[in-house]
Structure 1
Amino acid sequence: MIPKIILGKGPRATHRTIGYLFGPGRANEHVDPHVVASWKGFAPDPGRTPHRDPRDVATQLAAQLDQPVRMLGDAAPVHTVWHCPVRAAPEDPVLTDEQWGEIARRIVATAGIAPQGDEEACRWVAVRHAEDHIHIAATLVRQDGRRPARDHDKRAVQREARKIEADYGLRRLNPGDGTAAKRHTSKEHFKAKRQGASTTTRQVLRLRVRRAVAAASDETEFFSLLEATEVIVRLKHGPSGDALGCNFALRGDTNEAGDPVFYSGSTLAPDLSLPKIRQGLETPTAGAPVAVRAGDPWHQAIAAVERVPHHLAHGDEHLAQGQLVALGASLDLLAAIAPADTRADLTHAATAFERATRSRITADLHSARVLRRSVQALWRERPPDRDGAAFAMLLDATLTAVAFALHWHRTHQHAQQEAATKQALPHMQSAYSRATDTALNHLAERTPQPQTRRRLAQYVARAAPEHADRILHDPAWDALATVLAEAEATGHSATALLDQALGQRSLENTRNPARVLTWRVHRLGTRTAPSPRAQAAMARSTVRGPVYGAGPNPTATNPLSGPTTPVRRR
């Protein structure tokens, strides 16, 4: 159940509100509007007065609601109307007029509009438009001339809505923490519907501004990227001439007068105000940007993402929150560079995960600079990916990081962020499945000769006897054999790579063990092969106990597969 409070002002605010509530609606969505509850129980009802003109009754109702406001004259408050639509979910049972009336009484009581038993409270009326929602309209002057005590009414109404959901068996929504982005209005929704668009202008702007923040290295580049994506920027300047804020509009989106419709950054999302954007674009120290080590951008980005689970499992909450912000920015850029068959899924994943990047915990953005710069370098350079394996490995690391983010939010009882991460995961898994199918097919085309395959199979049987049968019968075995053989050709030891890959995390609950090992071995095999002396040392350590390779955190708990169990060697 979603309540939303709107304040109205002006000399005829009450008449305009009542006229709207009993009119056809902006998109003809008002069906049989009628009163289900009011401040005195028998307020005039324009929808249930067959022998009178409904417009006359609406005028009478507005006048009665407005009487305490008129008594104050010039001393009346600026905002005189409190308007609260309350909508049930599509799957909720249909409530009766009596049930909606009781819900309205609970809402106005908890908001401070009309506390239970208060005979001098504000005047209000609840109007039902259709089966799934009502509108509550009240005037913001009590009948004794005082103002209602409605401090923090938005939070109070949301808390009461959660109780109502439980009492009436309705869909349970997650409690928020005030960091969610503002939803689009019904006016914006119907405008998009009239134009045949699947998303509102607010949603399009939020996505484009967020991507520009993720890709830009400074403020100048940020504004250039927006201009390139048809976003108009209007800066708000202070008396000193410095820009203090900015509004965004989508080119071609205009109002009735033909002017662009602007949205302030903070109304798109709490972290898209100009001060927050600047905070995200700042370098750790003035004039000293973070440098990414020279090397393959794919490998640098994969290594940076692989460290996210370790930070989430072992870092403090501020460092972890910073990693989540950077992970969200990485998803935004991945969606921009993804192959066509995975782009839609990754865009959906990034849009959902956006909610998981904000909480009441202050983010340590400095700690995540390497991750952000690494993915930015990948976005700028667009290095070749011969068989799609690099992109698949990056998605593999990102999927693991998102799974750890789910566990982190659940641990910190961030209900909305946890729900958003759950919503992102299926899209991530779908994109990962498409990407890996393509890459594995390319790798399987280069599978080694049967004799080499048999030798490699023996290595697998010795390294992981408890998983060998599943690995060798996995459809990805040909691809795993390919990466093991190619790693051997560059000087690596196939047995050492297997030991390292198996030691990163348990395969106990892994559905496709060969596929998982393929990406681990491929990642390890792209590093410089160790010298013969180093290989001998690794072999000795293997005899003494399991060898753990360079992973995000060998001992961390994987929220999808449970605690890591050291692999026993024979």
Structure 2
Amino acid sequence: MSPDPGRDPNATLNDLAQLLDQPVMALAGHARPAKHVWHTSVRADPGDRILSDEEWAGIARRIVAATGIDPGDGQPGCRWAAVRHADDHIHIVATLVTEDGHRPDDYRSGARAQAEARLIEKELGLRQVAPGDGTAAQRPTSAERHKAERQGRERPAREELRETVRRAVAGVTSEEEFFDRLAAAGLLIRTRAAPSGDLLGYKVALPDDLNKDGEPVFYPGARLAPDLSLPRIRERWTGDTRNDPAPRPEDAVRTGLGAPAGARRTTASAAWQAVMLVWQGDDAVVAAHIAAAGEVLDALAKTSAAHTRRELRDAATAFERASRSHIRAARGHDRELRQAARELVHGGPALGRGEDGATTAMAIDMLFFLITAAAHWHAKKGHAQQAEAAARTAEHLRTAYQAAAAQPLGVLYQRGRRLSRPMLQRQTMLLREALPQLAEQILAEPGWYALAATIAEAEAAGHDPAALLTAAVERRELDTADSVSDVLVWRLRRTADLPADASPLSENGTTGGQPTTRTTATRPNAPGSRRSGEETSAKTR
């Protein structure tokens, strides 16, 4: 009996609205709910087939039944209408008063609709979305999205604020530093304090995001993401204090010449140590390292060169979803990663060439394996959305790595090609003896020459190349590598403390008879090149 304004030229939206609202208007004025309209949209994936009207009608009926809007089976339901706006989606609108004048049982209707949608996807052969667990950040509302479109913004204000606050919190150690970073980013800040003067919370706004009264629209941190409330942010640095109250000399932030490269070496070392903990650690410790990895990605994206910035920013954005789960992080155990994020921020922007560019490739390479380990951990724990987000992050890192590594690996490749034949033959024998299961694969890769140049440089610096190779492989995870030789190049250069952009080699494979000159950021035992006992024992001087 409902009029269809889409098919009947004499029907109007007002006619439809009046029919939907009849159960509300039948109530006494004081009994009418202040908000009585329920609305949702149901959208197919762009890659899905086009569903028929009959299929969309069936989907609509299943959604309103699952949410309690119109449960069926003789139970009183609400009046509702479904409208197909395009091939790929419908909108459902309902009146939140049943035919007998009661409120429907629509508790947690959003979660119930999502659960039914997962079943519909499977039954109709559509793209299956990973089920959520309630730890995701709140999405922008349709009003916020439409406002962004009207204002010509790339993203809604909520998403822009979330990214800015997330970057501001990377590696911070105090409230004062956190709010200074927010102010430096151009955000408007309001804080909430107790009568005692203790700070309870904060909210932020974009200066040009105004409401109808011309006032800035503020968002509390907790509304941006669950881990961006002030109490949750405080946990990051209070955990550091609780576990290690005395500051260590190597924790000082380096600035000046070589600082970006040194910060990236610190990042590479911290990421690689974290890989071991993610594979083997306690769940709460693993959750802390995964959360801190998000800070590192934010800091790296903020300070990277132009040719890697977009992919690293997309990687950080994707990983935001993977950084939280219901397993509460044991803060304090993630100190090394948080210190790396801090050094990246304070080290400043990196150049896309030389030692900066090469150490960027090294850091991305190590982070790729950390994020891959995080994806495996989430999958093992049944965190479907987080595992998917981490996998997407790894793909962005793979692309960023290719851009960052092309130049430094190209230089190493040419140096490897210039090594003498006896030197290459000796290194081939060494590789086959040290890594018999991987040798033939490595020798067939283009990256073998870059690895040969690195082995020669390590040997000239006084290292035992066979021990370095064995230790590098034993440190786990090579299955996801596109090129094993490339991975070993960065592991060897980091472990042996070699300049990431390579030292010039003479024809016989030595460094020309002179010691290699290192900058402050890459000298032996510098904060950016801390080594575990296992790595140190793999060397001979």
Which TM bucket (shorter chain)? 0.7 to 0.9
Q: Give the structure 2 partner of residue 57 of structure 1.
A: 15
Q: 1:292 to 1:473 in 2, by over 3 A?
A: farther
Paired residue total: 490
Aligned-pair distance for 1:401?
Answer: 0.6
Q: 1:65 to 1:90 in 2, by over 3 A?
A: farther
Contact 2:361 2:405 in 1 (8 A): yes
Contact 1:500 1:549 in 2 (8 A): no
Contact 2:20 2:80 in 1 (8 A): no
1:293 to 242, 245, 250: 250
Contact 2:300 2:312 in 1 (8 A): yes
- Say which SS state the counterpart of residue 174 (structure 1) adopts: coil
Amino acid in the other structure paired with 1:145? G
Contact 1:290 1:370 in 2 (8 A): no
Amino acid in the other structure paired with 1:393? M
2:428 to 457, 482, 487: 457
Aligned-pair distance for 1:225?
Answer: 0.8
Write out aligned runs for 1:405-424 (5 A): 405-424=374-393
Q: Give the structure 1 partner of residue 474 of structure 2.
A: 503
Paired with 1:275 and 1:217, the residues of 2 have a C-alpha distance of 13
Contact 2:206 2:216 in 1 (8 A): yes
Q: 1:247 to 1:491 in 2, by over 3 A?
A: same
Q: 1:349 to 1:550 in 2, by over 3 A?
A: farther
Aligned-pair distance for 1:119?
Answer: 5.2
Paired with 2:477 and 2:186, the residues of 1 have a C-alpha distance of 47
Contact 2:21 2:95 in 1 (8 A): no
Aligned-pair distance for 1:234?
Answer: 1.9
Q: 1:508 to 1:414 in 2, by over 3 A?
A: closer
Aligned-pair distance for 1:120?
Answer: 3.2
Write out aligned runs for 1:198-347 (5 A): 198-238=154-194, 240-285=196-241, 288=245, 291=248, 293=250, 297-347=263-313
Paired with 1:325 and 1:391, the residues of 2 have a C-alpha distance of 21
Contact 1:72 1:145 in 2 (8 A): no
- Say which SS state the counterpart of residue 126 (structure 1) adopts: strand
Residue deviations 1:269-314 (CA, integer Å, cap 9, x gap)? 1111222222224243369265473695444332221122221221
Contact 2:2 2:16 in 1 (8 A): no
Q: Give the structure 1 partner of residue 505 of structure 2.
A: none
- Say which SS state the counterpart of residue 240 (structure 2) adopts: coil
Contact 2:419 2:453 in 1 (8 A): no
Q: Give the structure 1 partner of residue 4 of structure 2.
A: 45
Contact 1:280 1:365 in 2 (8 A): yes
Write out aligned runs for 1:120-131 (5 A): 120-131=76-87
Write out aligned runs for 1:96-135 (5 A): 96-118=52-74, 120-135=76-91
Aligned-pair distance for 1:396?
Answer: 1.5
Amino acid in the other structure paired with 1:197? R
Amino acid in the other structure paired with 1:485? A
Q: Give the structure 2 partner of residue 560 of structure 1.
A: none
Aligned-pair distance for 1:317?
Answer: 1.2
Residue 480 in structure 1 maps to residue 480 in structure 2? no
Structure 2: where are the runs of 5+ without partners? 253-261, 499-531
Write out aligned runs for 1:6-25 (5 A): none
Amino acid in the other structure paired with 1:339? A
Paired with 1:218 and 1:110, the residues of 2 have a C-alpha distance of 46
Aligned-pair distance for 1:482?
Answer: 2.8
Contact 2:158 2:224 in 1 (8 A): yes
Residue 526 in structure 1 maps to residue 497 in structure 2? yes
- Say which SS state the counterpart of residue 217 (structure 2) adopts: coil
Aligned-pair distance for 1:420?
Answer: 0.7
Aligned-pair distance for 1:121?
Answer: 2.6
Larger mean Cα displacement after TM superposition, 512-521 or 385-394: 385-394
Contact 2:24 2:32 in 1 (8 A): no
TM-score by length of 2: 0.82
Q: Give the structure 1 partner of residue 35 of structure 2.
A: 79
Larger mean Cα displacement after TM superposition, 154-163 or 344-353: 154-163
Paired with 1:266 and 1:63, the residues of 2 have a C-alpha distance of 35
Paired with 2:132 and 2:37, the residues of 1 have a C-alpha distance of 26
Q: 1:493 to 1:252 in 2, by over 3 A?
A: same
Larger mean Cα displacement after TM superposition, 94-103 or 506-515: 506-515
Amino acid in the other structure paired with 2:358? A
Paired with 2:38 and 2:14, the residues of 1 have a C-alpha distance of 22
Paired with 1:151 and 1:515, the residues of 2 have a C-alpha distance of 54
Q: 1:44 to 1:356 in 2, by over 3 A?
A: same
Q: 1:443 to 1:381 in 2, by over 3 A?
A: same
Q: CA RMSD in A?
A: 3.0
Q: 1:57 to 1:340 in 2, by over 3 A?
A: same
Q: Give the structure 2 partner of residue 431 of structure 1.
A: 400
Residue 144 in structure 1 maps to residue 144 in structure 2? no
Q: 1:381 to 1:289 in 2, by over 3 A?
A: farther
Residue deviations 1:140-160 (CA, integer Å, cap 9, x gap)? 233333322222222111111
- Say which SS state the counterpart of residue 386 (structure 1) adopts: helix
Aligned-pair distance for 1:418?
Answer: 1.1
Aligned-pair distance for 1:413?
Answer: 1.1
